[in-house]
Amino acid sequence: MMALFVEAMATSSVIRPILRLTHLFCFASTFGMSLWVSFVSGAILSQCTSTREQYGYLQSRIFPLYFRIAAFGEAILLATHAVLHPWSSAGTSEQWQFQILFCSLFMTVLNVYILEPLSTKVMFERLKMEKEEGISREDILASGDLTNLDYLTKCQMRAVNSKLSRVQDFSSMANLVSLGCLTWHLLHLQSHLGVR
């Protein structure tokens, strides 16, 4: 029953242009937002915030919203692509695009539910430790090592910093994979310009 409904939507001369427009709008919005947040906003934030607490707070507000909006856009991309190109009648290229869009959505959902919350938790844990020990951003930038701390505190700080670095690396990698998938989809869309 559902397959018949999807097939009817895909072949409808009224709905098909609306689905294409929705697909393009969601793609443009999601791709543009991903480029901006991935490459521009972080650099601006790091220059405009004076303390790690401010930067951490802004990141903890921006990234969850960014990942949720991106996941929503990618879900719409996947759904409209699936309706416009049903798997049973889609060519190899369209089936690859479905898998690429699914990969993009998977990576973003991984960031939404696992990596970003963990990153935020560990970042605030580190900020709390720094505050308790009286360590400022200037101390860390100036000395690089934390010579004024006892051995146990140094070990705890290094462990938290290492964990934060790993989680942020995984989160960044998932975000870049998602962006790479969207770029691949852009190339696919470009190859179909002018084709009905």
Domain locations in the chain as residue ranges: 2-191
Contact (Cβ atoms closer than 8 angstroms) between residue 103 and residue 175: no
- Between CA 58 and CA 61, with CA 37 as vertex, the angle to 5 degrees is 25
Average pLDDT rounded to a whole number, residues 66-83: 97
Higher pLDDT, 103 or 14: 103
Mean pLDDT of the chain: 87
Average pLDDT rounded to a whole number, residues 155-183: 94
Contact (Cβ atoms closer than 8 angstroms) between residue 181 and residue 114: no
82-105 residue pLDDT tens: 999 998 888 899 999 999 999 999
Contact (Cβ atoms closer than 8 angstroms) between residue 96 and residue 49: no
- Between CA 178 and CA 183, with CA 182 as vertex, the angle to 5 degrees is 115
What is the percent of the chain with per-residue pLDDT over 70, rounded to a whole number?
86
Q: For residue 168, report the phi and psi dihedrals to the nearest 5 degrees.
A: -65, -35
Residue 63's pLDDT band (cuts 50, 70, 90)? very high
Count of all residues that appear for the chain in the document: 196
Average pLDDT rounded to a whole number, residues 137-146: 56
Q: CA-CA distance, 180 to 176, in Å (whole number)?
A: 6
Which residue bears the tokens 């690089």? 144
pLDDT at 145 over 60: no
Backbone φ/ψ region at 85: left (φ over 0), alpha (ψ -120 to 50), beta: beta
